[in-house]
Amino acid sequence: MITFILSICILILAYFTYGKFVEKMFGIQKERETPAVKLRDDVDYIPLSPWRIFLIQFLNIAGLGPIFGAIAGAMFGPVAFLWIVLGSIFAGAVHDFLSGMLSLRHDGLSISEVIGIYLGTNIKHVMRIFTVVLLIFVGTVFLMGPAKIIDGMTGNAWGVWIWVSIILIYYVLSTLMPVDKIISKLYPIFGVAMLLMAVGLLVALLFGNYHIPELTPGNLVNMTVNPDETPIFPILFVTIACGAISGFHATQSPLMARCMKNETLGRKVFYGTMITEGIVALIWAAAAMSFFDSVNGLNLAMVANNNNAAWVANEISLNMLGRLGGVLALLGIVAAPITSGDTAFRSARLILGDISKLSQLKIINRLYLSIPIFVVAFVLTQIDFSIIWRYFAWSNQTLATVVLWTCTAFLIHKDKPYLVSGIPAIFMTMVCSTYILIAPEGFNLDNHIAYTGGFIITIIITYLFKIYMKKKQLS
Protein backbone atom coordinates (compact mmCIF):
# COMPACT_ATOMS: atom_id res chain seq x y z
CA MET A 1 0.00 0.00 0.00
CA ILE A 2 2.87 2.38 0.80
CA THR A 3 4.33 2.03 -2.71
CA PHE A 4 0.93 2.68 -4.26
CA ILE A 5 0.16 5.80 -2.20
CA LEU A 6 3.68 7.13 -2.62
CA SER A 7 3.44 6.62 -6.39
CA ILE A 8 0.27 8.71 -6.60
CA CYS A 9 1.83 11.45 -4.47
CA ILE A 10 4.94 11.53 -6.67
CA LEU A 11 2.84 11.92 -9.82
CA ILE A 12 0.86 14.79 -8.32
CA LEU A 13 4.02 16.47 -7.04
CA ALA A 14 5.65 16.07 -10.47
CA TYR A 15 2.90 18.12 -12.09
CA PHE A 16 3.74 21.09 -9.87
CA THR A 17 7.53 20.66 -10.07
CA TYR A 18 8.88 18.93 -13.17
CA GLY A 19 5.81 19.98 -15.15
CA LYS A 20 6.45 23.59 -14.16
CA PHE A 21 10.10 23.22 -15.17
CA VAL A 22 9.20 21.84 -18.62
CA GLU A 23 6.64 24.61 -19.08
CA LYS A 24 9.18 27.31 -18.16
CA MET A 25 11.82 25.71 -20.37
CA PHE A 26 9.47 25.73 -23.37
CA GLY A 27 8.66 29.37 -22.82
CA ILE A 28 4.93 30.06 -22.60
CA GLN A 29 3.87 33.27 -24.35
CA LYS A 30 0.72 34.44 -22.59
CA GLU A 31 -0.05 37.18 -25.10
CA ARG A 32 0.50 35.02 -28.20
CA GLU A 33 -2.61 34.56 -30.31
CA THR A 34 -3.65 30.90 -30.44
CA PRO A 35 -4.96 29.06 -33.53
CA ALA A 36 -8.44 28.91 -31.97
CA VAL A 37 -8.59 32.69 -32.16
CA LYS A 38 -6.46 33.41 -35.20
CA LEU A 39 -7.91 30.71 -37.46
CA ARG A 40 -11.37 30.29 -35.96
CA ASP A 41 -13.72 28.49 -38.37
CA ASP A 42 -16.27 27.09 -35.87
CA VAL A 43 -15.56 23.58 -37.14
CA ASP A 44 -12.14 22.45 -35.91
CA TYR A 45 -10.78 25.81 -34.75
CA ILE A 46 -13.06 27.04 -32.00
CA PRO A 47 -12.31 28.28 -28.47
CA LEU A 48 -13.60 25.96 -25.73
CA SER A 49 -13.63 26.37 -21.96
CA PRO A 50 -10.55 25.03 -20.13
CA TRP A 51 -12.44 22.37 -18.20
CA ARG A 52 -13.99 20.99 -21.38
CA ILE A 53 -10.63 20.90 -23.12
CA PHE A 54 -9.08 19.07 -20.16
CA LEU A 55 -11.79 16.38 -20.07
CA ILE A 56 -11.85 15.99 -23.85
CA GLN A 57 -8.05 15.68 -24.01
CA PHE A 58 -8.09 13.22 -21.11
CA LEU A 59 -10.63 10.96 -22.79
CA ASN A 60 -8.94 11.40 -26.18
CA ILE A 61 -5.63 10.08 -24.90
CA ALA A 62 -7.03 7.60 -22.38
CA GLY A 63 -9.68 5.39 -23.94
CA LEU A 64 -9.05 1.88 -22.68
CA GLY A 65 -5.29 2.36 -22.45
CA PRO A 66 -4.91 3.08 -18.71
CA ILE A 67 -7.35 0.23 -17.95
CA PHE A 68 -6.46 -2.69 -20.21
CA GLY A 69 -2.78 -1.78 -20.54
CA ALA A 70 -2.43 -1.38 -16.77
CA ILE A 71 -4.13 -4.73 -16.14
CA ALA A 72 -1.83 -6.49 -18.59
CA GLY A 73 1.19 -4.64 -17.15
CA ALA A 74 0.19 -5.62 -13.60
CA MET A 75 0.94 -9.22 -14.55
CA PHE A 76 4.63 -8.27 -14.33
CA GLY A 77 4.20 -7.30 -10.67
CA PRO A 78 5.00 -4.11 -8.71
CA VAL A 79 7.69 -3.17 -11.24
CA ALA A 80 4.72 -1.87 -13.26
CA PHE A 81 4.32 0.92 -10.67
CA LEU A 82 7.86 2.04 -11.37
CA TRP A 83 7.32 2.31 -15.13
CA ILE A 84 3.99 4.11 -14.78
CA VAL A 85 5.47 6.75 -12.45
CA LEU A 86 8.79 7.34 -14.19
CA GLY A 87 7.32 6.91 -17.66
CA SER A 88 4.48 9.35 -17.05
CA ILE A 89 6.69 12.06 -15.54
CA PHE A 90 9.80 11.95 -17.71
CA ALA A 91 8.54 10.45 -20.97
CA GLY A 92 4.77 10.56 -21.47
CA ALA A 93 3.99 13.98 -20.00
CA VAL A 94 7.05 15.53 -21.67
CA HIS A 95 6.04 13.92 -24.97
CA ASP A 96 2.44 15.14 -24.66
CA PHE A 97 3.29 18.66 -23.51
CA LEU A 98 5.97 19.39 -26.09
CA SER A 99 4.10 17.80 -29.03
CA GLY A 100 0.88 19.56 -28.03
CA MET A 101 2.59 22.92 -27.62
CA LEU A 102 4.47 22.53 -30.92
CA SER A 103 1.14 21.90 -32.64
CA LEU A 104 -0.24 24.99 -30.89
CA ARG A 105 2.73 27.08 -32.05
CA HIS A 106 2.31 25.88 -35.62
CA ASP A 107 -1.36 26.75 -36.09
CA GLY A 108 -2.67 23.43 -34.78
CA LEU A 109 -0.85 21.34 -37.38
CA SER A 110 -1.13 17.55 -37.22
CA ILE A 111 1.81 15.70 -35.72
CA SER A 112 3.11 14.42 -39.07
CA GLU A 113 3.46 18.00 -40.29
CA VAL A 114 5.17 19.08 -37.07
CA ILE A 115 7.61 16.19 -37.45
CA GLY A 116 8.39 17.37 -40.97
CA ILE A 117 9.27 20.86 -39.76
CA TYR A 118 11.97 19.58 -37.41
CA LEU A 119 13.08 16.24 -38.90
CA GLY A 120 12.81 16.95 -42.62
CA THR A 121 10.55 16.33 -45.61
CA ASN A 122 11.41 12.66 -46.08
CA ILE A 123 10.45 11.76 -42.52
CA LYS A 124 7.30 13.86 -42.91
CA HIS A 125 6.11 11.84 -45.92
CA VAL A 126 6.74 8.57 -44.11
CA MET A 127 4.95 9.74 -40.96
CA ARG A 128 1.98 11.00 -42.94
CA ILE A 129 1.31 7.50 -44.20
CA PHE A 130 2.29 5.92 -40.88
CA THR A 131 -0.07 8.04 -38.75
CA VAL A 132 -3.06 7.83 -41.10
CA VAL A 133 -2.76 4.04 -41.31
CA LEU A 134 -2.33 3.83 -37.54
CA LEU A 135 -5.42 5.98 -36.92
CA ILE A 136 -7.56 3.98 -39.35
CA PHE A 137 -6.53 0.77 -37.59
CA VAL A 138 -7.40 2.31 -34.22
CA GLY A 139 -10.78 3.48 -35.51
CA THR A 140 -11.57 0.12 -37.09
CA VAL A 141 -10.71 -1.92 -34.02
CA PHE A 142 -12.71 0.48 -31.87
CA LEU A 143 -15.57 0.00 -34.29
CA MET A 144 -15.69 -3.80 -34.11
CA GLY A 145 -14.65 -4.18 -30.47
CA PRO A 146 -17.46 -2.16 -28.84
CA ALA A 147 -20.01 -3.61 -31.28
CA LYS A 148 -19.13 -7.14 -30.16
CA ILE A 149 -19.23 -6.16 -26.48
CA ILE A 150 -22.65 -4.46 -26.78
CA ASP A 151 -24.00 -7.38 -28.79
CA GLY A 152 -22.92 -9.76 -26.03
CA MET A 153 -24.44 -7.54 -23.33
CA THR A 154 -27.77 -7.45 -25.18
CA GLY A 155 -27.93 -11.20 -25.68
CA ASN A 156 -27.21 -11.04 -29.42
CA ALA A 157 -30.67 -9.54 -29.91
CA TRP A 158 -29.76 -7.33 -32.87
CA GLY A 159 -26.54 -8.83 -34.10
CA VAL A 160 -23.04 -7.40 -34.33
CA TRP A 161 -23.49 -5.70 -37.68
CA ILE A 162 -26.45 -3.63 -36.49
CA TRP A 163 -24.26 -2.25 -33.71
CA VAL A 164 -21.39 -1.75 -36.15
CA SER A 165 -23.73 0.32 -38.31
CA ILE A 166 -24.94 2.41 -35.37
CA ILE A 167 -21.40 3.09 -34.13
CA LEU A 168 -20.23 3.84 -37.67
CA ILE A 169 -23.01 6.43 -38.10
CA TYR A 170 -21.87 8.08 -34.86
CA TYR A 171 -18.28 8.03 -36.08
CA VAL A 172 -19.25 9.71 -39.34
CA LEU A 173 -21.20 12.43 -37.52
CA SER A 174 -18.49 13.09 -34.92
CA THR A 175 -15.86 13.26 -37.66
CA LEU A 176 -17.81 15.70 -39.81
CA MET A 177 -19.61 17.87 -37.26
CA PRO A 178 -17.99 20.89 -35.56
CA VAL A 179 -16.07 19.89 -32.45
CA ASP A 180 -18.45 21.81 -30.17
CA LYS A 181 -21.57 19.98 -31.39
CA ILE A 182 -20.94 16.37 -30.35
CA ILE A 183 -17.46 15.85 -28.93
CA SER A 184 -17.52 18.79 -26.52
CA LYS A 185 -20.97 17.72 -25.30
CA LEU A 186 -20.42 13.97 -24.77
CA TYR A 187 -16.75 13.72 -23.87
CA PRO A 188 -16.91 15.62 -20.58
CA ILE A 189 -19.67 13.26 -19.40
CA PHE A 190 -17.68 10.14 -20.26
CA GLY A 191 -14.49 11.72 -18.93
CA VAL A 192 -16.10 12.41 -15.55
CA ALA A 193 -17.52 8.86 -15.49
CA MET A 194 -14.08 7.41 -16.11
CA LEU A 195 -12.55 9.54 -13.36
CA LEU A 196 -15.36 8.62 -10.94
CA MET A 197 -14.75 4.94 -11.65
CA ALA A 198 -11.06 5.42 -10.83
CA VAL A 199 -11.87 7.39 -7.64
CA GLY A 200 -14.32 4.67 -6.60
CA LEU A 201 -11.66 2.01 -7.05
CA LEU A 202 -9.17 4.14 -5.12
CA VAL A 203 -11.55 4.43 -2.17
CA ALA A 204 -12.23 0.67 -2.28
CA LEU A 205 -8.50 -0.07 -2.33
CA LEU A 206 -7.71 2.28 0.55
CA PHE A 207 -10.56 1.24 2.84
CA GLY A 208 -11.31 -2.29 1.69
CA ASN A 209 -9.62 -5.53 2.63
CA TYR A 210 -7.12 -5.52 -0.23
CA HIS A 211 -3.40 -6.13 -0.11
CA ILE A 212 -1.44 -4.14 -2.68
CA PRO A 213 2.09 -5.56 -3.10
CA GLU A 214 5.01 -3.30 -2.30
CA LEU A 215 7.91 -2.54 -4.61
CA THR A 216 10.97 -3.95 -2.83
CA PRO A 217 14.35 -5.23 -4.05
CA GLY A 218 13.05 -8.74 -3.43
CA ASN A 219 10.04 -8.49 -5.75
CA LEU A 220 11.58 -6.25 -8.39
CA VAL A 221 11.34 -9.26 -10.67
CA ASN A 222 9.27 -10.50 -13.59
CA MET A 223 6.16 -12.20 -12.15
CA THR A 224 4.56 -13.25 -15.42
CA VAL A 225 3.87 -16.92 -16.09
CA ASN A 226 6.65 -17.20 -18.68
CA PRO A 227 9.34 -14.63 -17.78
CA ASP A 228 11.70 -15.84 -20.51
CA GLU A 229 9.04 -15.25 -23.19
CA THR A 230 7.92 -11.91 -21.76
CA PRO A 231 11.03 -10.14 -20.41
CA ILE A 232 10.38 -6.92 -18.53
CA PHE A 233 12.56 -5.09 -21.03
CA PRO A 234 11.14 -4.36 -23.54
CA ILE A 235 7.71 -6.05 -23.20
CA LEU A 236 6.48 -4.12 -20.14
CA PHE A 237 7.39 -0.78 -21.74
CA VAL A 238 5.20 -1.57 -24.73
CA THR A 239 2.40 -3.26 -22.78
CA ILE A 240 1.79 -0.21 -20.58
CA ALA A 241 1.66 2.55 -23.18
CA CYS A 242 -1.16 5.01 -22.48
CA GLY A 243 -0.41 4.83 -18.75
CA ALA A 244 3.21 5.90 -19.33
CA ILE A 245 3.86 7.09 -22.90
CA SER A 246 1.90 6.64 -26.12
CA GLY A 247 2.42 8.00 -29.62
CA PHE A 248 -1.35 7.98 -30.14
CA HIS A 249 -1.51 10.97 -27.78
CA ALA A 250 0.46 13.08 -30.26
CA THR A 251 -2.19 12.43 -32.92
CA GLN A 252 -4.91 13.65 -30.56
CA SER A 253 -3.31 16.78 -29.10
CA PRO A 254 -3.77 18.90 -32.27
CA LEU A 255 -7.55 18.57 -31.82
CA MET A 256 -7.36 20.51 -28.56
CA ALA A 257 -4.47 22.72 -29.73
CA ARG A 258 -7.04 24.15 -32.14
CA CYS A 259 -9.43 24.93 -29.27
CA MET A 260 -7.20 26.51 -26.60
CA LYS A 261 -7.71 30.19 -25.83
CA ASN A 262 -4.29 30.74 -24.28
CA GLU A 263 -0.87 29.06 -24.15
CA THR A 264 -0.98 29.13 -20.34
CA LEU A 265 -3.42 26.20 -20.53
CA GLY A 266 -0.72 23.97 -22.01
CA ARG A 267 0.56 22.43 -18.78
CA LYS A 268 -2.96 21.61 -17.58
CA VAL A 269 -4.20 20.28 -20.91
CA PHE A 270 -1.16 18.30 -22.04
CA TYR A 271 1.13 17.58 -19.07
CA GLY A 272 -1.76 17.43 -16.61
CA THR A 273 -3.92 14.97 -18.52
CA MET A 274 -0.97 12.59 -18.90
CA ILE A 275 -0.30 12.74 -15.16
CA THR A 276 -4.01 12.11 -14.56
CA GLU A 277 -3.90 9.14 -16.88
CA GLY A 278 -0.86 7.83 -15.03
CA ILE A 279 -2.81 7.98 -11.76
CA VAL A 280 -5.72 6.11 -13.36
CA ALA A 281 -3.28 3.47 -14.65
CA LEU A 282 -1.76 3.13 -11.15
CA ILE A 283 -5.20 2.57 -9.64
CA TRP A 284 -6.12 -0.11 -12.19
CA ALA A 285 -2.75 -1.84 -11.87
CA ALA A 286 -3.12 -1.89 -8.06
CA ALA A 287 -6.70 -3.16 -8.32
CA ALA A 288 -5.65 -5.95 -10.69
CA MET A 289 -2.77 -7.05 -8.42
CA SER A 290 -4.90 -7.06 -5.26
CA PHE A 291 -8.35 -8.18 -6.45
CA PHE A 292 -7.13 -11.70 -7.21
CA ASP A 293 -5.21 -11.81 -3.89
CA SER A 294 -1.80 -11.67 -5.56
CA VAL A 295 0.03 -11.03 -8.83
CA ASN A 296 0.14 -14.79 -9.33
CA GLY A 297 -3.63 -14.90 -8.89
CA LEU A 298 -4.01 -12.23 -11.56
CA ASN A 299 -1.78 -14.19 -13.94
CA LEU A 300 -3.79 -17.38 -13.40
CA ALA A 301 -7.08 -15.53 -13.93
CA MET A 302 -5.81 -13.93 -17.13
CA VAL A 303 -4.54 -17.25 -18.50
CA ALA A 304 -7.86 -18.95 -17.66
CA ASN A 305 -9.73 -16.23 -19.58
CA ASN A 306 -7.49 -16.01 -22.65
CA ASN A 307 -5.74 -12.87 -21.35
CA ASN A 308 -9.02 -10.98 -21.64
CA ALA A 309 -8.39 -7.68 -19.85
CA ALA A 310 -12.01 -6.63 -20.51
CA TRP A 311 -13.20 -9.56 -18.38
CA VAL A 312 -10.84 -8.57 -15.56
CA ALA A 313 -11.98 -4.92 -15.73
CA ASN A 314 -15.61 -5.98 -15.61
CA GLU A 315 -15.04 -8.34 -12.65
CA ILE A 316 -13.16 -5.67 -10.70
CA SER A 317 -15.79 -3.00 -11.41
CA LEU A 318 -18.77 -5.15 -10.47
CA ASN A 319 -17.24 -6.62 -7.32
CA MET A 320 -15.43 -3.56 -5.99
CA LEU A 321 -18.02 -0.93 -6.96
CA GLY A 322 -21.32 -2.83 -6.94
CA ARG A 323 -24.23 -1.78 -9.17
CA LEU A 324 -22.72 1.63 -9.77
CA GLY A 325 -19.61 -0.20 -10.90
CA GLY A 326 -21.66 -2.04 -13.48
CA VAL A 327 -22.86 1.21 -15.00
CA LEU A 328 -19.40 2.75 -14.89
CA ALA A 329 -17.90 -0.42 -16.35
CA LEU A 330 -20.32 -0.15 -19.24
CA LEU A 331 -19.22 3.43 -19.82
CA GLY A 332 -15.57 2.54 -19.43
CA ILE A 333 -15.46 -0.65 -21.47
CA VAL A 334 -17.86 0.46 -24.20
CA ALA A 335 -17.81 4.26 -24.31
CA ALA A 336 -14.05 4.63 -23.83
CA PRO A 337 -13.06 2.78 -27.02
CA ILE A 338 -15.82 4.53 -28.97
CA THR A 339 -14.54 7.93 -27.85
CA SER A 340 -11.06 6.92 -28.97
CA GLY A 341 -12.36 5.60 -32.28
CA ASP A 342 -14.22 8.74 -33.28
CA THR A 343 -11.30 11.06 -32.58
CA ALA A 344 -8.99 8.65 -34.40
CA PHE A 345 -11.07 9.11 -37.54
CA ARG A 346 -11.33 12.86 -36.94
CA SER A 347 -7.55 13.09 -36.53
CA ALA A 348 -7.08 11.17 -39.78
CA ARG A 349 -9.32 13.71 -41.52
CA LEU A 350 -7.32 16.60 -40.07
CA ILE A 351 -4.03 15.05 -41.23
CA LEU A 352 -5.40 14.62 -44.76
CA GLY A 353 -6.67 18.20 -44.58
CA ASP A 354 -3.22 19.46 -43.62
CA ILE A 355 -1.64 17.45 -46.43
CA SER A 356 -4.10 18.53 -49.13
CA LYS A 357 -4.44 22.12 -47.85
CA LEU A 358 -8.17 21.65 -48.43
CA SER A 359 -10.29 24.02 -46.34
CA GLN A 360 -12.45 22.18 -43.79
CA LEU A 361 -14.94 25.03 -43.51
CA LYS A 362 -17.34 23.46 -46.02
CA ILE A 363 -18.84 20.10 -45.13
CA ILE A 364 -18.42 18.87 -48.70
CA ASN A 365 -14.65 19.15 -48.31
CA ARG A 366 -14.82 17.21 -45.05
CA LEU A 367 -16.79 14.54 -46.89
CA TYR A 368 -14.18 14.33 -49.65
CA LEU A 369 -11.55 13.45 -47.07
CA SER A 370 -13.69 11.35 -44.73
CA ILE A 371 -15.46 9.03 -47.18
CA PRO A 372 -12.25 7.23 -48.28
CA ILE A 373 -11.26 6.83 -44.63
CA PHE A 374 -14.55 5.17 -43.71
CA VAL A 375 -14.61 3.03 -46.85
CA VAL A 376 -11.17 1.65 -45.97
CA ALA A 377 -12.24 1.14 -42.36
CA PHE A 378 -15.38 -0.75 -43.41
CA VAL A 379 -13.38 -2.98 -45.74
CA LEU A 380 -11.01 -3.77 -42.88
CA THR A 381 -13.95 -4.93 -40.74
CA GLN A 382 -14.47 -7.72 -43.28
CA ILE A 383 -10.89 -8.95 -42.87
CA ASP A 384 -9.33 -10.79 -39.96
CA PHE A 385 -6.37 -8.53 -39.46
CA SER A 386 -5.62 -9.60 -35.87
CA ILE A 387 -2.04 -10.41 -36.86
CA ILE A 388 -1.60 -6.91 -38.30
CA TRP A 389 -3.11 -5.40 -35.16
CA ARG A 390 -0.47 -7.10 -33.05
CA TYR A 391 1.94 -4.60 -34.56
CA PHE A 392 -0.10 -1.68 -33.23
CA ALA A 393 1.59 -1.71 -29.81
CA TRP A 394 5.02 -1.46 -31.42
CA SER A 395 3.83 1.10 -33.98
CA ASN A 396 2.31 3.22 -31.25
CA GLN A 397 5.55 3.37 -29.26
CA THR A 398 7.56 3.90 -32.45
CA LEU A 399 5.47 6.99 -33.18
CA ALA A 400 6.11 8.20 -29.62
CA THR A 401 9.84 7.73 -30.23
CA VAL A 402 9.79 9.75 -33.45
CA VAL A 403 7.84 12.51 -31.68
CA LEU A 404 10.41 12.59 -28.86
CA TRP A 405 13.22 12.99 -31.42
CA THR A 406 11.17 15.79 -33.00
CA CYS A 407 10.85 17.54 -29.64
CA THR A 408 14.58 17.12 -29.10
CA ALA A 409 15.30 18.73 -32.48
CA PHE A 410 13.09 21.67 -31.48
CA LEU A 411 14.88 22.09 -28.14
CA ILE A 412 18.29 21.98 -29.83
CA HIS A 413 17.09 24.53 -32.40
CA LYS A 414 15.96 26.84 -29.60
CA ASP A 415 19.13 26.23 -27.56
CA LYS A 416 17.16 24.75 -24.67
CA PRO A 417 17.93 21.74 -22.40
CA TYR A 418 17.39 19.10 -25.07
CA LEU A 419 18.13 16.12 -22.80
CA VAL A 420 14.64 16.60 -21.31
CA SER A 421 13.26 14.80 -24.36
CA GLY A 422 16.57 13.44 -25.70
CA ILE A 423 17.06 10.88 -22.92
CA PRO A 424 13.48 9.52 -23.23
CA ALA A 425 13.97 9.44 -27.04
CA ILE A 426 17.09 7.29 -26.72
CA PHE A 427 15.41 5.02 -24.16
CA MET A 428 12.29 4.52 -26.29
CA THR A 429 14.45 3.90 -29.36
CA MET A 430 16.07 1.04 -27.45
CA VAL A 431 12.63 -0.22 -26.36
CA CYS A 432 11.14 -0.23 -29.85
CA SER A 433 14.17 -1.63 -31.67
CA THR A 434 14.61 -4.41 -29.10
CA TYR A 435 10.88 -5.20 -29.09
CA ILE A 436 10.62 -5.76 -32.84
CA LEU A 437 13.68 -8.02 -32.68
CA ILE A 438 12.47 -10.07 -29.69
CA ALA A 439 8.67 -10.23 -30.12
CA PRO A 440 6.91 -13.20 -31.77
CA GLU A 441 5.30 -10.80 -34.27
CA GLY A 442 8.75 -9.43 -35.02
CA PHE A 443 11.95 -11.36 -35.70
CA ASN A 444 11.54 -13.57 -32.62
CA LEU A 445 15.29 -13.57 -31.94
CA ASP A 446 17.06 -14.91 -28.88
CA ASN A 447 16.93 -12.40 -26.01
CA HIS A 448 20.67 -11.74 -25.93
CA ILE A 449 20.84 -11.23 -29.69
CA ALA A 450 17.82 -8.92 -29.56
CA TYR A 451 19.34 -6.82 -26.79
CA THR A 452 22.61 -6.50 -28.68
CA GLY A 453 20.78 -5.63 -31.90
CA GLY A 454 18.57 -3.09 -30.13
CA PHE A 455 21.60 -1.42 -28.59
CA ILE A 456 23.37 -1.19 -31.96
CA ILE A 457 20.27 0.22 -33.69
CA THR A 458 19.88 2.80 -30.92
CA ILE A 459 23.50 3.91 -31.28
CA ILE A 460 23.10 4.22 -35.07
CA ILE A 461 19.85 6.22 -34.86
CA THR A 462 21.28 8.53 -32.19
CA TYR A 463 24.38 9.11 -34.32
CA LEU A 464 22.32 9.80 -37.47
CA PHE A 465 20.19 12.27 -35.51
CA LYS A 466 23.32 14.04 -34.30
CA ILE A 467 24.67 14.28 -37.87
CA TYR A 468 21.31 15.57 -39.15
CA MET A 469 21.14 18.28 -36.50
CA LYS A 470 24.69 19.42 -37.25
CA LYS A 471 23.89 19.73 -40.96
CA LYS A 472 20.67 21.59 -40.20
CA GLN A 473 22.44 24.05 -37.92
CA LEU A 474 25.10 24.72 -40.55
CA SER A 475 22.57 25.23 -43.38
The predicted structure's pLDDT at residue 84 = 98
The predicted structure's pLDDT at residue 78 = 97
Residue 251 lies in a domain: yes
The predicted structure's pLDDT at residue 150 = 82
The predicted structure's pLDDT at residue 86 = 98
Residues 6+ apart with CB under 8 A from 90: 18, 423, 424
Residue 269 lies in a domain: yes
Residue 405 lies in a domain: no
The predicted structure's pLDDT at residue 65 = 81
Residue 441 lies in a domain: no
Q: CATH number of the domain at 274, please.
A: 1.20.1740.10
The predicted structure's pLDDT at residue 143 = 86
The predicted structure's pLDDT at residue 379 = 87
Residue 467 lies in a domain: no
Residue 450 lies in a domain: no
Q: What range does the domain containing 71 cover? A: 2-390
The predicted structure's pLDDT at residue 386 = 60
What residue ranges of the chain have pLDDT lower than 50? none
The predicted structure's pLDDT at residue 238 = 96
Q: Residue 307 is which amino acid?
A: N
The number of folded domains in the chain is 1
Residue 455 lies in a domain: no
Q: Yes or no: say if 387 and 100 are a contact pair by the CB < 8 Å rule.
A: no
List the end-to-end C-alpha distance of the chain, in Å, as a whole number.
Answer: 55
Query: 459-466: which pairs have CB atoms within 8 A and are 24 or more residues apart?
Result: 461/429, 461/433, 462/426, 462/429, 465/405, 465/408, 465/409
